[in-house]
Amino acid sequence: MSQATTHIETIEGEYNLNNYDEIRENFDWSDAKALLSAAKTGKINAAYETIDRHVDEGYGDKIALHYINEGEKRSYTFKEVKDQTDHYARILKRHGVTRGDRVFVFLPKTPECYIAILAVIKVGAIAGPLFEAFMEDAVRDRINDCDGTLLITDQQLVKRVPKKDIPSLETTLFVEDIEKEPLQPVDGDDYVEWVDWEDGLIIHYTSGSTGKPKGVLHAHRAAQHHIVTGKWVLDIKDDDVYWCTSHPGWVTGSVYGLFAPLLNRATVVIQGGRFSAENWYSLIEELGVTIWYSAPTAFRMLLSKGDLYKDYDLSSVRHVLSVGEPLNPEVIQWAWNSLNVRIHDTWWMTETGGHLIVNLPAEKIKPGSMGRSFPGIQVGILDEEGNELPHGEVGQLAVRTPWPGLMKEIWGNQDKFKSYFQYKGWYISGDLALQDEEGYVFFQGRNDDMINSAGERIGPFEVESKLIEHTAVEEAGVIGKPDELRGELVKAFITLRSGYQESEQLLEEIRLYVRKNLSAHAAPREIEVMDELPKTKISGKILRRQLKALEIERANKVKN
Ligand code: PRX
């Protein structure tokens, strides 16, 4: 494997709030556990730790959630969120939901979405949050895969829930109806189901390079990982107003939009509606956001708006984090020059359940690097045989097992689960990276065909399967084409069935077909018709790598 150069440019931190060297030296995961009330009581329920605990400890009047969407603004105290989750929990119990059931939540980014997820967890069931932009097939496949029995949605999104074809689904509840029912007083912690550390907490569906999305199941033990990374990586303090821009249907939106900040008693901002630079900046100003967690694509969109930031008072922001795709040094520089903040990159995955490689607030940042391993986490760069490579060499990014946030299983797919652990004692990420002498890790790409567009993971197989459902498409090969704004964009190469002629209109129709049935983010932005797709000689498998190489070659030609 080849040698690559590392960036040496650094930005030193302005403040030193914690002694991280000492933390790194002495860290033990029991320190994380000690932050939870379960360490004292011996009883665990992650929803209790997230909300009820703070009420019991005297913080019931503190604001837990701010919701803002096109002029609409609502706030909830921790006591109000507790009462609401009890209300939802009572209704779930009435419908027979019990420990271990899979309950899906298909809602836009609203307080009700957060409350519904927490209520599901409170009664001991497994929450299955669905991204609000999913269309029929995506919704159906996910609920079917793990036999979801109950769905919480609203009158709008229910239009995208197939009426047939989900045999396990017994009940659909609408937030509109739940909200109409009067709140009832609760006795003690009646609705909290105390569970084991290994009990299922949340299931996130995520894409790989083959097959349909897989259900990554996390356990209540992950709360240890969430609370400690919330404290040290997000750097949450008592007065913080914290905003993570991701929807809880993605792991960033659940772990770092909901669990980690609320476990640390932060005030969490929920922003509805679509991305707009104006709305985002004015939200920060209006709510006095102090900690902000987003993705490189969003930062690049803000950067492209030039001086717009000058129209807003963004001085409340003290800590910014990024995840999901490579963070360009230019973006870090832009934030440093314009917003006067450092952007702290973080690396992790749906499967890892929490941060593994981070830039801690007081430590040196090397633009171009994702940071260093979180205390208690050991990163390795492995060759094809699973041997550790020396500093500076590119190899498979791996992590020593176990840690509390690590997934518990891939739902119903033991083989897939095992495939992450093919070298004894290591979790294999599927990313390629190198590590320098100081432990800083530099992302070098994926070791498979997974696509990362605007930080969202897209499986080429899923898109290809949808494309060939269209009557005009014979074969399809889908890749991530390098893109300045989104990192990669979804590009499909197709061949047409005989009798079909290539036309703008037909390609648009095919694109819309994927968009309408799968989801907007997975629909190919570009479709190119070929006479024939490149294939392996023996098995006739479509060679995505060759298609990708073709795109990279074209892009290089344009550059030169
Ligand atoms: O390729 C890496 C990329 O996103 C993948 C994980 O995607 P997902 O499970 O959707 O989780 C996203 C957020 C937790 C990784 O395998 N990725 C994630 N963070 C970074 C990244 N690539 C470069 N830099 C990062 N900081």
Q: Where are the domains of the chain?
A: 3-441, 451-559
Of 538, 533, 461, 457, nearest to 493 by C-alpha is 533
Ligand 1 atom 8, closest CA? 349
CB-ligand 1 contact for 323 (6 Å cutoff): yes
Centroid of ligand 1 to alpha carbon of 480 (angstroms):
15
CB-ligand 1 contact for 326 (6 Å cutoff): yes
Distance from C-alpha of 129 to C-alpha of 253, rounded to nearest angstrom: 10
Best residue among 443, 448, 458, 521 to mutate for probing ligand 1's pocket (most ligand atoms within 8 Å of CB) is 443
Ligand 1 atom 4, closest CA? 324
> 483 in helix, strand or coil?
strand
**HEC states along 385-450?**
CCCECCCCECEEEEEECCCCCCCCEECCCHHHHHHCCCCCCEEEEEEEEEECCCCCEEEEEECCCC
CB-ligand 1 contact for 271 (6 Å cutoff): no
Q: Exposed e or buried b for every residue in 98-128, given b needs 16+ CB within 10 A?
A: eeebbbbbbbbbbbbbbbbbbbbbbbbbbbb
* Ligand 1, atom nearest to 346 Cα: 26
Centroid of ligand 1 to alpha carbon of 204 (angstroms):
14
Is the confidence metric ipTM above 0.85 for this complex? yes
Best residue among 349, 374, 456 to mutate for probing ligand 1's pocket (most ligand atoms within 8 Å of CB) is 349
Residue the block writes with tokens 């005009």: 472
Distance from C-alpha of 190 to C-alpha of 91, rounded to nearest angstrom: 13
> For 211-259, what is each residue's pLDDT tens digit?
889 999 999 999 999 999 999 999 999 899 999 999 999 999 999 999 9
Centroid of ligand 1 to alpha carbon of 325 (angstroms):
5
Handedness of CA 227, 228, 229, 234 (dihedral sign): positive
**Strand 343-347 relative to strand 357-358: parallel, antiparallel, unpaired?**
antiparallel
CATH of domain 3-441: 3.40.50.12780
| CA–CA distances in Å: residue 244 to residues 250, 262, 418, 485, 528 | 12, 12, 32, 20, 36
DSSP 118-173: HHHHHTTPEEEEE-TTB-HHHHHHHHHHTT--EEEE-TTGGGGS-SSS-TT--EEE
Which pair of tokens denotes residue 483?
A: 């893109």
Does an H or E element contain 89, and which? Answer: helix 78-94
Centroid of ligand 1 to alpha carbon of 225 (angstroms):
17
Whole-prediction pTM: 0.94
| CA–CA distances in Å: residue 250 to residues 115, 258, 466 | 16, 11, 21
Q: Which CATH class for the 451-559 domain?
A: alpha beta
Ligand 1 atom 7, closest CA? 349
Of 473, 455, 451, nearest to 551 by C-alpha is 451
Contact 122, 101 (CB under 8 A): no
Which pair of tokens denotes residue 518?
A: 């799968």
Distance from C-alpha of 91 to C-alpha of 85, rounded to nearest angstrom: 10
Centroid of ligand 1 to alpha carbon of 328 (angstroms):
14
Contact 491, 477 (CB under 8 A): no
Centroid of ligand 1 to alpha carbon of 347 (angstroms):
6
* Contact residues for 214 (Cβ-Cβ < 8 A; gap 6+): 205, 206, 207, 208, 410, 411, 413, 416
Q: How far is CA 296 from the centre of its chain?
A: 13
Amino acid identity at 46 = A
Distance from C-alpha of 64 to C-alpha of 81, rounded to nearest angstrom: 7
Does an H or E element contain 241, and which? Answer: strand 241-244
Centroid of ligand 1 to alpha carbon of 315 (angstroms):
29
Task: Determine whether 390 is exposed, middle or buried from the number of CB atoms within 10 Å of its CB (0-12, 13-18, 19+).
Answer: exposed
| CA–CA distances in Å: residue 229 to residues 62, 114, 235, 296, 354 | 22, 20, 8, 20, 8
CB-ligand 1 contact for 370 (6 Å cutoff): yes
Does an H or E element contain 262, and which? Answer: helix 260-263
Contact 50, 262 (CB under 8 A): yes
Of 397, 359, 392, nearest to 380 by C-alpha is 397
CB-ligand 1 contact for 359 (6 Å cutoff): no
Centroid of ligand 1 to alpha carbon of 513 (angstroms):
28
For residue 1, the model assigns a pLDDT of: 36
Handedness of CA 89, 93, 95, 98 (dihedral sign): positive
Distance from C-alpha of 224 to C-alpha of 230, rounded to nearest angstrom: 10
* Ligand 1, atom nearest to 429 Cα: 16
* Contact residues for 126 (Cβ-Cβ < 8 A; gap 6+): 100, 101, 102, 103, 120, 146, 200, 201, 202, 203, 217
CB-ligand 1 contact for 429 (6 Å cutoff): yes
Centroid of ligand 1 to alpha carbon of 154 (angstroms):
30
Contact 33, 237 (CB under 8 A): no
Q: How far is CA 93 from the centre of its chain?
A: 29
Break the chain down into helix, strand, coil percent, rounded to 5: 35, 25, 40
CB-ligand 1 contact for 350 (6 Å cutoff): yes
Contact 303, 334 (CB under 8 A): yes
* Contact residues for 73 (Cβ-Cβ < 8 A; gap 6+): 66, 67
Rg (CA), the chain: 23
Ligand 1 atom 14, closest CA? 349
State which residues of the chain have pLDDT below 70: 1-19, 188
For residue 86, the model assigns a pLDDT of: 97
